[in-house]
Amino acid sequence: MPQMSPIETITSPALAPLRHGFFTRKGGASSGIFAGLNCGTGSSDLAEVVQINRARVAETMGAPVAALVTVHQVHSPDVAVITGPHDGPAPRADAMVTNTPGLVLGILTADCQPVLFADAAAGVIGAAHAGWRGTRDGVLEATLAAMEGLGAQRDRITAVIGPTISQAAYEVGPEFVQDFVDGDAQAARFFANGKGDRALFDLPGYALARLRAAGVAQAQWTGHCTYSDPARFYSYRRTTHAAEADYGRLISCIRL
C-alpha cells in the first residue's frame, strides 16, 4: 500500500465553531486513477481501501467510522432526517439533516456541489449533494425546510458550497440551456457564451442565488474548481474527457 500523505481539508469560517471539512483527494490509500482519498463505495476501487479512506475521514472528524453517515445519492430533491447510524442500506436521498450530536454527515461529489448547512444556535446541521438536476429540482430548499423541522431558523442558517465545477469548465448544449430557461427565465443570467452553440453554466452562482432567495443568513462558495485542479480534486467531467474507466469521489462532512 502506498505511503499516505496528510489529509487535506478545506474549511469555512462561516461554519465555525462546528467541525466540518471539504476533503480533497490528498491523504488517502487509493492508487492508480483513484489515487488519494477516494470515499466512493460506488466506484470500482477496492472496497477495503475505500473503507480505510472513510475511516481516516471519520478520525479527522473526531468520530468512529460508524458515525459517518452517507446516503445513496440519486440526483433527487429528497432529504433524509438522520437520527443515528444506518441499520441496513443507506436511504436513497441527496441531502441529510440531523440534530443528533456526534453524527458525521458525509456527501460524495466529483464535480457536483457539496453543500454544508448549519444553524449552530439551534444545534441543527445539514449536507446536500447538489448537481444541476438536484439544484434545479429544489434539493437546497428542501434541506432548509427539513432543518426547520428540527428547530432551525432559516434566517440563522449558513450554507457553504465546497469544491465544484466552475463556469469556465462547465460547457453545456443548447437543449440544457433551454430546459433551464423554460422553467425560469431568470436562469439565463447563469449562462455565458461558449464556442459555437455551446454555453458555460455557472452552477455555484445558480445555487447561491437560490439559497439567498430562500432567505438563509449567508451563503458562500469556497471558490475551488474540481475540474481545473487534478492534484486536489476528482472530477467526473475531467475523467470523461480523458477517457478514463472510472473516477474517485470526494467527501464533505459536518458534525455537531
Q: Which residue is associated with the grid cell 429544489?
A: 138
Is 176 within 8 Å of 131 (Cβ atoms)?
no
d(CA 59, CA 27): 12
d(CA 188, CA 58): 40
What pLDDT digit, counting tens, does each position of 113-155 carry?
999 999 999 999 999 999 999 999 999 999 999 999 999 999 9
What pLDDT digit, counting tens, does each position of 87-118 carry?
888 999 999 999 999 999 999 999 999 999 99
The sign of the dihedral angle between the CA atoms of 255, 69, 112, 213 is: negative
- Mean pLDDT of the chain, nearest integer: 95
Is 192 within 8 Å of 252 (Cβ atoms)?
no
DSSP code of 236? Answer: H
d(CA 182, CA 199): 16
What CATH architecture applies to the domain 9-164+217-255?
4-Layer Sandwich (3.60)
How many residues belong to the chain? 256
Give residue limits of the domains in the chain. Answer: 9-164+217-255
Residue 3, pLDDT above cutoff 70: no
Name residues whose C-beta falls within 8 Å of residue 100's C-beta, 6 or more positions apart in sequence: 82, 83, 84, 256
Residue 1, pLDDT above cutoff 60: no
